[in-house]
Chain A
Amino acid sequence: MMNRINSAWLKELFNNSGDVIVRPIKINQNGITVHLFCVDGLINQSLFDEAVFRSLKFDPYLSGCMTERAMMDYLLEGGTYHVFTKEEADYQLLLKYVLSGMVALIFDTEEKAIVYDIRMFEKRSIQEPSEENVMKGSKESFIEVMRMNTALIRRRIRSEHLVVETLSAGRISKTDIALIYINGIADSATVNKIRTIINEIDIDNISTPAFIEEFLVENKHSIFPQIMYTQRPDRVAANLSDGRVALVVDGIPFAYLLPCQLPMLMQSPDDYANHFFIGSSLRIIRYMSMIVTLFLPAFYIAATTYQVQMLPVQLALSTQAAKQNVPFSSASEVLGLLISFEILIEAGLRLPKAVGTAMSILGGLVVGQSAVAANLISPAVVVIVALAGISGFIMPNQDLSSGIRLSRFLLTVLAAVAGFFGLAIGLIILITHLCSLNNYGIAYISPFVDVEERNIRDTIFRFPIKYFQKRKSMQSERRDRL
Chain B
Amino acid sequence: MKKLIILLFPILICGCSHDMNRREIDEINLVHVIGIDFSDGEYVITALYSGEKGADTEKGSAGQEVTSKGSGATPYAAFQNFRLKDKKTVSIANTGFFLLGEGAAKRGLDICIDFLSRDETVKMESLLFVTKDMDASEFIAQSLEKGQIIHEDMKAVEQKQEELVTRNDNTLVNVLNELENDITIGIIPYLVAEEGSFLLQGYAVFENNILADYLDMETSSGVNFIKDIIRAYPIYLDDNVGLSISYSKSHIKSEIQDNSIRIVIKLDFETMIKEINIREDIFTFEELNRLTDMQNDYIIEIMKKATDYSKNTGRDILQIARLIQNQHTRKWSEYEDNWKDKISEIEYEFNVNSQITKSFILN
A interface list, Cβ under 8 A from B: 304-309, 311, 313-314, 316-324, 326, 329-330, 414, 417-419, 421-422, 425
Q: Check if B22 sits within 8 Å of A320, measured CB to CB.
A: no
Chain B residues contacting A321 (CB-CB under 8 Å) are 50, 53-57, 63
Neighbour of B17 across the interface among A308, A317, A323, A421, CB < 8 A: A421
Q: Check if B25 sits within 8 Å of A308, measured CB to CB.
A: yes
* The stretch of B91-99, B169-177, B181-189 that contacts the partner chain: B91-99
Tell me whether A313 and B63 are in contact in the complex, defined as CB-CB below 8 angstroms, given that A304-B24, A321-B57 are known contacts.
no
Q: Check if A320 sits within 8 Å of B13, measured CB to CB.
A: no
Q: Check if A317 sits within 8 Å of B14, measured CB to CB.
A: no
Tell me whether A320 and B14 are in contact in the complex, defined as CB-CB below 8 angstroms, given that A305-B23, A309-B93 are known contacts.
no
Chain B residues contacting A309 (CB-CB under 8 Å) are 91, 93-94, 121, 123
Tell me whether A322 and B57 are in contact in the complex, defined as CB-CB below 8 angstroms, given that A305-B24, A308-B91 are known contacts.
yes
Chain B residues contacting A307 (CB-CB under 8 Å) are 93
Q: Does B77 contact A (CB under 8 A)?
A: no
Chain B: CB-nearest residue to A422: B13
Chain B residues contacting A326 (CB-CB under 8 Å) are 26
Measured CA separation A378–B30 after assembly (Å)? 18
Chain B residues contacting A314 (CB-CB under 8 Å) are 55, 62
Measured CA separation A180–B239 after assembly (Å)? 86
Q: Does B20 contact A (CB under 8 A)?
A: yes
Q: Check if A418 sits within 8 Å of B13, measured CB to CB.
A: yes
Measured CA separation A308–B30 after assembly (Å)? 9
Q: How far is the CB of A137 from chain B (nearest CB, A)?
A: 45
Query: Could you list 17 further interchain pairs (A-B, Cβ under 8 angstroms) beyond the known A330-B25, A418-B13?
Result: A304-B24, A304-B25, A305-B24, A308-B91, A308-B94, A311-B94, A313-B151, A319-B25, A320-B30, A320-B55, A321-B55, A321-B57, A326-B26, A329-B24, A417-B10, A419-B17, A421-B17
Chain A: CB-nearest residue to B49: A317
Q: Does B361 contact A (CB under 8 A)?
A: no
Chain A residues contacting B54 (CB-CB under 8 Å) are 317, 320-321, 324
Chain B residues contacting A418 (CB-CB under 8 Å) are 13-14, 16-17, 20
**55-76 of chain B: CB within 8 A of chain A:** 55-57, 62-63
Chain B residues contacting A322 (CB-CB under 8 Å) are 57
Measured CA separation A411–B33 after assembly (Å)? 34
19 interchain pairs (CB within 8 A)? A306-B22, A308-B25, A308-B93, A309-B91, A309-B121, A311-B94, A313-B96, A317-B55, A318-B57, A320-B26, A320-B30, A321-B50, A321-B55, A321-B57, A322-B57, A323-B25, A417-B13, A418-B17, A421-B17
Measured CA separation A422–B10 after assembly (Å)? 10
Q: Does B21 contact A (CB under 8 A)?
A: yes
Q: How far is the CB of B120 from chain A (nearest CB, A)?
A: 9
Q: Does B28 contact A (CB under 8 A)?
A: yes
Chain A: CB-nearest residue to B30: A316
| Total count of chain B residues near the partner, CB < 8 A | 30
Chain B residues contacting A425 (CB-CB under 8 Å) are 13
Measured CA separation A329–B23 after assembly (Å)? 9
Measured CA separation A418–B23 after assembly (Å)? 12
Q: Check if B21 sits within 8 Å of A306, measured CB to CB.
A: yes
Q: How far is the CB of A436 from chain B (nearest CB, A)?
A: 13
Q: Does B305 contact A (CB under 8 A)?
A: no
Measured CA separation A418–B55 after assembly (Å)? 27
Chain A residues contacting B123 (CB-CB under 8 Å) are 309
Q: Does B315 contact A (CB under 8 A)?
A: no
Chain B: CB-nearest residue to A328: B24
Q: Check if B50 sits within 8 Å of A421, measured CB to CB.
A: no
Contact mask for chain B residues 1-27; partner A; CB cutoff 8 A; 1 contact, 0 none: 000000000100110110011111110
Q: Check if B62 sits within 8 Å of A317, measured CB to CB.
A: yes
Neighbour of A305 across the interface among B14, B25, B32, B57, CB < 8 A: B25
Contact mask for chain B residues 106-122; partner A; CB cutoff 8 A; 1 contact, 0 none: 00000000000000010
Q: Check if B50 sits within 8 Å of A320, measured CB to CB.
A: yes
Q: Give the top 7 A-B pairs by smallest Cβ distance, nearest first.
A: A309-B93, A317-B55, A321-B54, A418-B17, A321-B55, A323-B26, A304-B25
Q: How far is the CB of B88 from chain A (nearest CB, A)?
A: 11
Chain A residues contacting B30 (CB-CB under 8 Å) are 308, 313, 316-317, 320
Best-surrounded residue of B30, B50, B121, B123 (most CB of chain A within 10 A):
B30
Measured CA separation A425–B14 after assembly (Å)? 12
Q: How far is the CB of B105 from chain A (nearest CB, A)?
A: 25
Measured CA separation A321–B25 after assembly (Å)? 9
Contact mask for chain B residues 137-158; partner A; CB cutoff 8 A; 1 contact, 0 none: 0000000000000010000000
Q: Check if B17 sits within 8 Å of A316, measured CB to CB.
A: no
Q: Check if B25 sits within 8 Å of A320, measured CB to CB.
A: yes
Measured CA separation A466–B229 after assembly (Å)? 48
Q: Check if B24 sits within 8 Å of A330, measured CB to CB.
A: yes
Best-surrounded residue of A305, A309, A329, A422 (most CB of chain B within 10 A):
A309
Measured CA separation A421–B12 after assembly (Å)? 12
Chain A: CB-nearest residue to B96: A313
